[in-house]
Structure 1
Amino acid sequence: MTKQHTIFTSHSTASEFSSHAYAITLQNCVKNNEPTSGKALHCDISKRGGCLDLFGWNVLLNMEGLELNSFVFTSILKLLVSVESGELCRSIHACLYKLGHGSNAFVGTSIIDAYSACGLVDDAREAFDEIIWKDMVSWTGMVTCYAENGVFKEALELFSDMRMGGFWPNNFTLVSVFKASLGLEAIDVGRSVHGCALKMRYELDPYVGAALLDLYTKLGDMEDATLVFEEIPKCDVIPWSFMIARYSQSQRSKEAVELFCRMRQSLVLPNHFTFASVLQACGTMADLDLGKQIHCNVLKVGLDSNVFVSNALIDVYSKCGKMENSVDLFEESTNRNEVTWNTLIVGRVQLGHEEKALKLFLQMREDNVQGTEVTYSSVLCACAGLAALKLGTEIHSLTIKTRFDKAITVGNALIDVYAKCGSIKDARVVFETMSNRDVVSWNTMISGYSMHGLSSEALRIFEYMQKIMIKADKLTFLGVLLACSNTGLLDKGQAYFTSMVHDYRINPCIEHYTCMVALLGRSGQLDRAVRLIEEMPFEPSVMIWRALLTTCVIHNNVELGKIAALHVLELEPHDKATYALISNMYAAARRWDDVASVRNNMKKKRIKKEPGLSWIESQGTVHYFVVRDASHPDIRLIYGMLEWLNMKTKKAGYVPNYEVLLQDVEDDEKPRRLWVHSERLALAFGLVRTPFGSRIRILKNL
């Protein structure tokens, strides 16, 4: 081979020669025993900005007679960082060690970086220990390696050793230490290192500032995060977006919106991340007007097609009850992902559109979009709302196939589905087989037992929860008090209420007081219930007065019931349920003039009593019934079954109670009016259409 075949000509450029071709030329130098030509070629290509692939570096390392400096080796290792090959890292490391370069701080740090990229933390530490004269860069490289690979405790210990050795951290060291502090949730360590950053004037560094913001916001210290934010330079969109996102995620939506307004006043242009975060805040506040204004801004800057922004817009409109707008945005979206589908499904479920949510889920599967744990937990919630046991069971099977049944949120949703569909034993099986449980798992099981009137089981679960040191929260005690209220366990209910306040330091909310008022009232302690309402630290809500009214109806205390009803109607003048309750109370007391007065008042205010609605699932389809329904395709069979039941119950001695019916109902109409209630129609349908021996589950809206 002649020299002109090996060396570039004077008019050649590095860009005209690929890294692989360069390696082949080097290999020819080796084959022809031309180390001088190889060295000249390497120098020439380096000057011209050329590069090598791994094959080329391997050739270069094995060339005899070619002197390689530390820069060459670090170039190889930088290439290895991008390749992330642990085997090659170890091979190059061994070669460097043999050649005596392993103890060099410059080369050693590159070895650490290469091992870190491959997740080989122990190998990186071995390379670090080989360095004889460690400098700040090598210390930082090893601290960063620990932090990036989740070995947080060792990162902080090494940082401490570094400081004891007299080294001051740089901005990259500080960023890694803050990351390690966050990983260990060691906010006090983070604050201490923050003090070190202040001494060195690194608080103005954008990387250090971002790491501090991440530390404080994720560990819930928004006050310190705000102080950091106000100190760092804010000519860039990133710190603004970061803080807006954290405010939104920590349920401080108002501050997120205020910061967004400040950002716009500072003439900083928002990016897709900014818009998605501030729209999240609008959704949390259900502020439709503000959401529309930001939507206009999004359109102006042309970010409406961005999938993150589009998803946030869908979420805003659904949370503000404007589902038609969400659907329009969904249909217009050309860049959907699984979050897009989930957002619309969750919106449907939250608005009570369970059937539409399930249809959307089926469409999602037809479009071959993979569901997530959010998808499955949401559609299971829809099944629970419809008491659609068969469909819930089918989705349960899907979660097993996709392994999402292991997710805590899905497990909790399954417990809820089975409990609300009447299969409390299946709910318990799911609960017992969960490998991981959170407090929601326990709360869902307790409320499931409470719903079924199985107070002893609910309380047994709670006692065991205490025994194994699972910390109860407000919702835990709500389920416990509901269990006591449903079965009239007055003494236990009072004891649990007292324990919640004094032992658990939980301030009772309005729902806890509502349970106690209901418990006292149903136990006949109406005076004590009134006294508890008077002693509450806040104004009684509609729920409180309605709970008192319900117990007054049970105990025929018309005068107190009238007072409770007036309070309800003062807060909610068009509350249909209250008019129905007080009308029933007057009817039970045979005060027909008062009944007529209530009905006339309803007519004047154009208030119509919400019709009773019952539904039942059969073969995957939900069937709805209202009183005196004649629209169902099987209505003849249903009425035939009702007549048969009527005959059988009369023979068994059943005597209907007509007192709750109003006085303007004719005597011959009263038996029929009682007999064609919506739940009885649903029961007759279940007897006609469900297999013999199967359970009949009926849900009502009232």
Structure 2
Amino acid sequence: MVSWTGMVACYAENDHSKEALECFSEMRNVGFMPNNYTFVSVLKACVGLQEIGMGKSIHGCVLKSSYELDNYVSIALLNLYTDCGDIRGAQCVFEDIPRKDVISWSFMIARYAQSDQSEAAIGMFCQMRKALVVPNQFTFASLLQSCASLGCLSLGNQIHCFVLKLGLLSDVFVSNALMDVYSKCGIMENSVTLFVDAETKNEVTWNTMIVGYGQLGNGEASLTMFMNMLEQKVLPNEVTYSSALHACASLAALDPGTQIHSLTIKTKFDKDTIVGNALIDMYGKCGDIRHARLVFDMMRNRDEVSWNSMISAYSMHGLASEALRIFQWMQESEFKPNKLTFVGVLSACCNMGLLDEGQAYFTSMVRDYGIEPCMEHYTCMVWLLGRLGKLDKAMKLIADIPFHPSVMIWRALLGACVIHNDVELGRVAAERVLEMEPWDEAAYVLLSNMYAAAKRWGNVACVRKSMKKKGMKKEPGLSWIEVQGNTHLFTVGDTSHPEIRLINGMLQWLKVRITREGYVPNCCVVLLDIEDDEKERLLWLHSERVALAFALIRTPSGSPIRILKNLRICADCHAAIKIISKVVEREIVVRDINRFHHFQDGVCSCSDYW
């Protein structure tokens, strides 16, 4: 029997699960009865093959042999049921264990935590305490994982105290889990304290901090932590690289993102799907759609995130035909579109005003894929209809939404009303927005702009008075550009930059050149009650033009220029930059609050629809 058991164990340990089961079957045929070691190995083989049916048969044999009382066998049975997704079966096995030790309790807590059943994991821990079983570091690590998933700060604090009492804070798994709890609950200073005080740090410790900063929107701190990790000679893994790349994407920092890409190429992680997805997202959000597509084409293994990221990147850049082509390719592959896929597809249709295609995809989503539209899908459709001037149909769609319309829906309608100067409907949309979010300054600004476009200066004054009463100010126009690793920020009419004299000289030169090419100022975009001469002067002080002038001075001739802007680009800047791209013979990429604009040879990728 020892010989047979040895062979079963050897096959199971070396991932030859099928041979392990065959060997076990031969052993039974020749008359040998399995013992606890045999059962542990053959159950492991069942897990390797995901053979829950065979595992249950072995379980029956275990019961007949009374080996279910053995701790090793009971843990193997727990592993079988949990790994095959039968948590209820695992619970039954657990309840039948006569003497539950810390290992069996910790095993169940861990499996509940890993199965996104965090409340069940916490409930199991409470039962464990009532049974007077002292938890160990593995128990706490799994329990804290559940606290992090639920964002349960109060329980996390209590467990932190318990950990201190038992002297387990020095354990790297426990300290990492505590850091994760605090970061997910937004208490990053506690995570930093734990990180600094940690006696032992591994890659998970660093990753927890990098991810934590990224989730809280502090991309700069996330990248700084990544650089410190490299300086400490800690080897990054796929989580590290993907988190650092997401930080670059949030900052639209192309240069650091490109450098991190170079680092991944020197490792095995450049072929990793998670890293590849992060690269697509980074390049897409940093304005380099060509490299995003190159990464996508070179990926060995794609998942749903890969397809969705590429569709969203094309949509963000206003390249609707390419986005829809990728979607068609996805449909022909083994992957099925999901909710996020259709958000990207409908956004692509919105960005190019493809009404028929957008309505067809919206219908197909429900009819062909059984995906019920969510708020993002309805927002896309309202914006698509509204942007095309079909405001009545947009209102009808809002009325037909089976749940309460969100603030995003009404914002989309308000934006469309501003574009088409529908003051009355715009006022209704603004009221809905402000009912849900009374401090939404963007709604006030849009409402003011709409009244100004209609030359209703009295209404403009009332809106501004309301904003002043609430202590709200209109967000100033900001543009920024990265040159040699340094970010340069410009405001409207900026005079603070050290090189402002050169910038003003470049602006004057550009004005002369594009005027020769037929540029005529569009003073209508200046929504102030002033003379046209003053409006024309103000146009040349818009932040994106100042940033562009600086870029032309400080970047190599012929290289692309990438500018980021916090507001929607105005019609006059759009027209001017189109001509500038032709005059200076350079590609100019501007990302405004809605999308990317690629200006080259006097043409914009948006086809003047934005």
TM-score by length of structure 1 reads 0.75
The letter for the 2-side match of 1:274 is: T
Question: SS of the counterpart of 2:301?
Answer: coil
RMSD of aligned Cα (Å): 2.6
- In structure 1, the residue matched to 2:76 is 211
Matched, 1:399 2:264: yes
Which residue in the other structure is 1:582 paired with?
447
| 2:303 maps to 1:438 | yes
Counterpart CA distance in 2 for 1:610 and 1:186 is 60
Is 1:630 the counterpart of 2:457? The answer is no
2:6 aligned with 1:155, yes or no?
no
Task: Compute the displacement of 1:631 (Å).
Answer: 3.2
SS at match of 1:471: coil
Distance 1:168 1:507, change over 3 A: farther
Number of the residue aligned with 2:254: 389
* Distance of aligned partners of 1:254 and 1:514 in 2 relative to their CA distance in 1, 3 Å threshold: farther
Once the 2 structures are TM-superposed, how far is the Cα of residue 538 of structure 1 from its aligned partner? 3.0
1:339 aligns with 2:212: no
Partner of 1:363: 228
Structure 2 counterpart of 1:506: 371
Which residue among 534, 541, 560 is the counterpart of 1:695?
Answer: 560
Mapping of 1:175-254 within 5 angstroms?
175-198=40-63, 200-233=65-98, 235-254=100-119
> How far did 1:456 drift?
1.0
Measure how far apart 1:337 and its partner are. 1.1
Alignment of 1:351 with 2:216, yes or no, is yes
Between 298-307 and 629-638, report the one with greater CA deviation: 629-638
Q: Distance in 2 between matches of 1:534 and 1:171?
A: 65
Matched with 1:315 is 180
- Structure 1 pair 628/319, CA: closer, same or farther in 2 (3 Å)? farther
Gap change, CA 1:458 and 1:259, over 3 Å in 2: same
Change (3 A) 1:274 1:557: farther
The alpha-carbon distance between structure 1 residues 352 and 164, as it changes in their structure 2 partners (threshold 3 A), is same
Higher mean alpha-carbon deviation, 394-403 vs 465-474, is at 465-474
The CA deviation at 1:576 is 2.6
Choose the corresponding residue for 2:142, options 253, 263, 277.
Answer: 277
Shifted more, 597-606 versus 645-654: the winner is: 645-654
Give 1:152 shift.
2.1
Instruction: Assess, with a 3 A threshold, how the Cα gap between structure 1 residues 201 and 615 changes in structure 2: closer, same or farther.
Output: farther
Residue 557 in 1 paired to residue 439 in 2? no
Equivalences, count: 567
List runs of 5+ in structure 2 lacking aligned partners.
567-592, 594-610
Separation (CA, whole Å) in 1 of partners of 2:264 and 2:222: 17
Which residue identity does 1:411 align to in structure 2?
G
Distance (whole Å) between structure 2 residues aligned to residue 194 and residue 564 of structure 1: 63
Indicate yes or no: 2:383 matched with 1:529.
no
Structure 1 residues 169 and 563, CA gap change in structure 2 (3 angstroms): farther
Per-residue deviation, residues 87-122 of structure 1 (Å, max 9, x unmatched): xxxxxxxxxxxxxxxxxx54xx1xxxxxxxxxxxxx
Partner of 2:128: 263
Q: Deviations over 1:586-626 (max 9, x none)?
A: 22233333322222222232233343332211112222223
Q: CA deviation at 1:446?
A: 1.4
Residues 613 and 237 of structure 1, relative CA distance in 2, 3 Å threshold: farther
1:292-350 C-alpha deviation (Å, 9 max, x unpaired) = 22222222222222111111222222222222222222122221111111111111222
Contact 2:11 2:19 in 1 (8 A): yes
Contact 2:479 2:547 in 1 (8 A): yes
Check if 1:566 corresponds to 2:431: yes
Q: 1:199 to 1:389 in 2, by over 3 A?
A: same
**Comparing 247-256 and 614-623, the one that deviates more:** 247-256
Is contact 1:298–1:304 with CA below 8 Å preserved after alignment?
yes
Q: Which letter maps to 2:373?
A: P
CA distance in 2 between counterparts of 1:666 and 1:290 reads 63
Partner amino acid for 1:624?
A: L
For 1:481-496, list aligned pairs within 5 A. Answer: 481-496=346-361
CA gap 1:632/1:412 in 2 versus in 1, 3 angstroms: same
Residue matched to 1:516: 381
- Amino acid corresponding to residue 675 of structure 1 in structure 2: W
What SS is found at the alignment partner of 1:631? coil
1:507 partner SS: coil
**Larger RCO of the pair (alpha carbons < 8 Å, separation 6+):** 2
Q: What is the distance in 2 between the residues matched to 1:204 and 1:584? A: 76
Helix, strand or coil for the counterpart of 1:422?
coil
- C-alpha distance in structure 2 between counterparts of 1:645 and 1:445, whole Å: 36
- Are 2:287 and 1:410 aligned? no
1:163–1:322 CA distance, 2 compared to 1 (3 A): same
- Does the 8 A contact of 1:234 with 1:240 survive in 2? no
Structure 2 match to 1:592: 457
Q: Does the C-alpha gap of structure 1 residues 181 and 559 become closer, same or farther in structure 2, counting only changes over 3 Å?
A: farther
Deviations 1:509-559 (Å, cap 9, x if unpaired)? 322222222223223333333333333343322222222222222222333
Note if 1:289 corresponds to 2:154.
yes
How far does residue 441 in structure 1 lie from its aligned partner after superposition? Answer: 1.5
Question: Is 1:448 paired with 2:318?
Answer: no
2-structure distance, mates of 1:584, 1:189? 70
Identity over aligned residues, as a percent? Answer: 65
| Deviation digits for residues 427-457 of structure 1 (CA, Å, limit 9, x no counterpart) | 2221112222222122211111111111111
The Cα shift of 1:691 comes to: 0.6
d(CA) in 2 for partners of 1:517, 1:227: 51
Q: Give the stretch that moved more between structures: 656-665 or 173-182.
A: 656-665
More displaced 10-residue stretch of structure 1: 185-194 or 384-393: 185-194
Change (3 A) 1:681 1:257: farther
In 1, Cα distance between equivalents of 2:29 and 2:447: 77
Quick check: which has more Rg, 1 or 2?
Answer: 1
Q: Does 1:306 align with 2:171?
A: yes
- Per the alignment, residue 648 of structure 1 pairs with 513
Cα distance change, pair 356–454 in 1 and its aligned pair in 2 (3 A): same
User: 1:467-492, CA deviations, whole angstroms, 9 ceiling, x for partnerless residues?
Assistant: 23223222222222221221122222
Change (3 A) 1:250 1:660: farther
Maintained 8 Å contact 1:310/1:333 = yes
- What CA distance in whole angstroms lies between the structure 2 residues aligned with 1:166 and 1:147? 21
**Long gaps (5+) in structure 1:** 1-104, 110-137
SS at match of 2:561: coil
Q: Distance in 2 between matches of 1:664 and 1:334?
A: 65
Deviation (angstroms), 1:405 = 0.6
Provide the secondary structure at the position in 2 that maps to 1:697: strand
AA aligned opposite 2:395: V
Question: Equivalent residue for 2:327?
Answer: 462
**Aligned 8 A contact 2:453 2:527 in 1:** no
Distance 1:696-1:181 versus aligned 2 partners, 3 A rule: same
Asked if the contact 1:206/1:233 (under 8 Å) is kept, the reply is no
In the alignment, the residues of structure 2 paired with residue 388 and residue 305 of structure 1 have an alpha-carbon distance, to the nearest angstrom, of 36
Tell me by how many angstroms 1:690 deviates: 0.7
